[in-house]
Amino acid sequence: MIPSHRSIQLFQLAKSLQDIRRITGSNLVINAARLYDFPLSTDANYLTKPRLCFYLIRTRSRDRRKVRISLVEGSFFETLRKDELLARVWDQVLDTSGIAAAERLHIVEHLASLEQEEIARSREIAQASVKPRLRLMAEVHSDAKLHAYPEIKPCTVNLVLKRETGFNEQWLQRELVKEGFQNKIVRDDDVRLVFSSENNQVELRYFVILHKRNGEHIVLQYELPNEHLTHDP
């Protein structure tokens, strides 16, 4: 859960399972993924293959009439590749120190190649009674505060994906069919996808929002039922 107004670690578009193990120091996620993905998990590149990152965001959680929940693809936040972003950060830091641009170029190249986990590692310093550590944090720019976009209505749950060529409501419908859902597209004032599984039926509003720094993103929006507003959980 990542509220958009707080400082957080750098967002990423993709991570590998190997990255997850390095970050967490645990094989728990890898073991679960291997079981779920078998036999695909027997591939030699299974641990190093990049996987899309999604971020769960919730705002106004204490106000049932204004709460918003979104599962957002990392592309909404990573509008620059992480290595390029870090290179620009180091360049600005060194610039404030007075180092000439010609000298900065070589230094920035090496600093930008450092992994975030390596930067944040605690350091043993001779004769020091503390272990210093650096930590890179990020504050979401106002243009990337999803829940400030007027299309993301109060009391909704949203799935947000980068819109690539050919990604539209028909593509979504085909993908749902692949997952075993019977569904249809309804067009009136809005485009809505209605799909069902066994005795359940869910209606999702489909639309596209324009990210001010990273192009079009698809939104599937579910409006929470009225009982969510009137009854205790």
The pLDDT, as a whole number, for residue 68 is 93
Residue 196 tokens read as 């069902």
Tens digits of per-residue pLDDT, 70-114?
999 888 887 777 778 888 888 988 888 888 888 888 888 888 888
The pLDDT, as a whole number, for residue 12 is 63
Closest C-alpha among 188, 208, 172, 219 to residue 68:
219
The pTM of this model reads: 0.73
CB-CB contact of 42 with 55 (8 Å): no
Q: Which residues pair with 204 in a beta bridge?
A: 193
- Is residue 4 helix, strand or coil? coil
Alpha-helical segments (H) within 113-233: 116-119, 169-178, 227-230
**Number of neighbouring beta carbons within 10 Å of residue 182:** 12
Tens digits of per-residue pLDDT, 115-124?
777 777 788 8
Q: Which residues pair with 203 in a beta bridge?
A: 194
pLDDT band at 141 (very low <50, low <70, confident <90, very high): confident
